[in-house]
Amino acid sequence: MTLNYQFPKNFWWGSAASATQTEGSNNGVKGKDIWDHWYATEPNRFFENVGPDTTSDFYNRYQEDIKNMKSIGHNTFRMSISWARLIPGGVGKVNDDAVIFYNNVINELIANDIEPFVNLFHFDMPLELQDQGGWENRDVVEAYVNYANEAFRLFGDRVKTWFTFNEPIVPVEGGYLYDFHYPNVVDARKAIQVGYHTMIAHAKAVQAYHQTQDGKIGIVLNLTPSYPRSQNPADLKASHICDLFFNRSFLDPAVKGEYPADLISLLEEYGHLPHTEEGDKELLKENTVDLLGVNYYQPRRVQAKAHLPNPYGPFMPDWFFDNYEMPGRKMNPYRGWEIYEKGIYDIMINLKENYGNIESFISENGMGVQNEERFLKDGRIEDDYRIEFIKEHLKWLHKSITEGCNVKGYHLWTFMDNWSWSNAYKNRYGFFSVNLATQERTAKKSASWFADVSKQNGFND
């Protein structure tokens, strides 16, 4: 049977999750990370005061969850390792309990014909290292490289697809610009240094991996196309600067091995260049990624500033653009995000035309909805809105592939409802719903739809 939307052979169908959002801090031996600390000190910053201690108990239920993944056709799954679990305190002795747990998870995935993709860092800095300045501190870069080497040594015989960071700009934005992650600093100079050290850590991990291992290593970036309000030169300049800050600040060094000249000159003009060390430039140039994970949720729409920025306020990317609300845009009202499916195509065309058509895949895409129990019918959540969301994004992804983009797969965020940082369980994203009282997992309608898609390696509209 020929399908309208047939995907390439061996396409990666799966989902993504992170350690902090699924394992539960109270399970097993684990050091504290910044989320444990922030929740202990300011529980009011978390939706309904729900913190990372319980989450969806993947630590004890991974066998059931992996069996469910197989049942809906997953051939790949992206997980992360908790640095604070593998090496409590961030430096020193490896935790044997963690090694057993992660070995069990990896082996269980492989036994179910699901290839494990492993990410090393997903917003979860060990608290002791954050107390030393976190990514502000160059010493933490070395601690991260040692951690990465331990992970490669322990699991690299079976894991052949690695990622250094997930969405490294989010700790920069949340922790150092816009006050939505710990340490809640508002300081662009520190933010830029944090971003820079993250990329140095990334390049050093890529270098270490290629010296000892034989798989592929990449990075996962949340790319948000910057669309100008109009073709007016002032709007075009605003969208260009927005793109420099929020996309190219990580994309260019990861894939091209260098920062955009425009970004360097802009930061220099405003006295915000980061501190660098000798050899950094060569390090970045020589250690580019093998593979790029792309997280896509929403576009950015911008326009020229209507007013000059407050000269006494903190320096911000927003000094150069205003957000723009496009009339008639389609919205996910629960998350407050625009739904713009074509963005996924625009990203891939950009990678093809400007980034050597690097091997890439959609590593996250998804729709969070509040109070999904409203859609419960005969024991199943009828999430047709999620099916529609995935389908319309897949159509544009398929179009990019037919036009020669080097796209290898599609992963949904996420497999089962999980804890979302400060939003806790406000919005549900999973193929499987999780009853927080009983931890029972139940497949939603989207799970069976996705099972058919992965089985057929495509779909009819």
The residues carrying an active-site annotation are: 364
Contact (CB, 8 A) for 220 and 169: no
Contact (CB, 8 A) for 325 and 250: no
DSSP β-bridge partners for residue 166: 220
Contact (CB, 8 A) for 221 and 169: yes
Burial of 313 (0-12, 13-18, 19+ CB in 10 A): exposed
Radius of gyration of the chain (CA): 21
Maximum pairwise Cα distance, the chain: 65
Count CB neighbours of 189 within 10 A.
Answer: 18
CA distance 375 to 393: 22
DSSP β-bridge partners for residue 216: 161
For residue 416, what are its two tokens? 């089962």
For residue 254, what are its two tokens? 């990861």
CA distance 164 to 201: 8
CA distance 197 to 364: 24
Q: Backbone dihedral region of 123: left (phi > 0), alpha (psi from -120 to 50 degrees) or beta?
A: left
